[in-house]
Amino acid sequence: MDLTVRGFWGPRKEAPLGLAGRLEGFLRRLQESSGGTLIDWHTAEDGDIALDSEVLADYIVAANPESDAEHMGYTTSLWAQQAGVMRVEVSTTVGGTAEYTGNRIVVTVQPAGDASPAGLAGMAWSALVALAEEWEPDWGDVSDEVTRKAVQTSNGIRRSDPRCGYAVYLSSGRRALVPADFPGDRTPTQDDGLVIVLPAAGGGFVTVEDVVSLDARLRRAGALDKLPVPMNRSRW
């Protein structure tokens, strides 16, 4: 099961050096959550890259020669792997001001044969907190293709709509709408948002049926409403 840790937000103009600082901080936190094993990072073209903000800024500029990158967002694609356990890919489209597409970061965790569900879950929860605090998105989740399709089909939403997964991140405005008795382990984030890990017996991952049900509950409370389109701000 490939997991994705995702974050989405509306228009937010940011220069390459500022984006590189966020990216460096995030990748270093992924190193920590992997027990220090995701050390060597590479570009999609298989070139090694140092976790240094100036080096990353140069990479961001070189990877985005298009004249509209400031508007549509700067794309990056990096990966690292922990032999026998997982491969992690980080893709971003960030720093843009487009009112219809917004900004996003997607972390894909591809487990290998030696990966334990509990270990993967713990790393994914930590990655979502790190993503929230380093990138300050509007919302985010930990999910896989099965849960995304189930929520989309059962709850009648579009592919791009905010949603709940095995875990969900809600920015401060959304956090205020979470019912007091909503189940799960809550982790407040530095940006006044909230990560909620849905409760699963014995750790690991909650059932797909429970994800669908709890997504519907957050949706009824208004915590998963969409930003207005065209988007006039980065967060709810």
Residue 78, classed as helix, strand or coil, is strand
The mean pLDDT of 147-159, rounded to a whole number, is 97
Tell me whether residue 61 is exposed, middle or buried, using C-beta atoms within 10 angstroms of its C-beta: 0 to 12, 13 to 18, 19 or more. Answer: middle
| Residues comprising the chain, all counted | 236
Q: Is residue 120 part of a domain?
A: yes
Q: Is residue 226 part of a domain?
A: no
**Tally of structural domains, the chain:** 1
Q: Is residue 123 part of a domain?
A: yes
Q: Is residue 101 part of a domain?
A: yes
pLDDT greater than 70 at residue 38: yes
Average confidence score pLDDT of the chain: 94
Whether 125 contacts 148, CB under 8 Å: no
Q: Is residue 142 part of a domain?
A: yes
CA-CA-CA-CA torsion for 155, 160, 161, 167, nearest 10 degrees? 80
Q: Is residue 146 part of a domain?
A: yes
* Most confidently modeled range among 32-41, 108-117, 166-175: 166-175
C-alpha closest to that of 155 among 208, 92, 109: 208
Structural domain span for residue 215 = 3-221
Q: Is residue 234 part of a domain?
A: no
Whether 81 contacts 88, CB under 8 Å: yes
Contacts of 104 (CB under 8 A, 6+ apart): 6, 7, 8, 9, 92, 93, 94, 137
pLDDT greater than 80 at residue 116: no
Q: Is residue 235 part of a domain?
A: no
d(CA 228, CA 224): 12
Residue 128 has a pLDDT of 98
pLDDT tens track for 89-107: 999 999 999 999 999 999 9
Classify the C-alpha dihedral 233-24-16-61 as positive or negative: negative
Output the pTM of the full model: 0.96
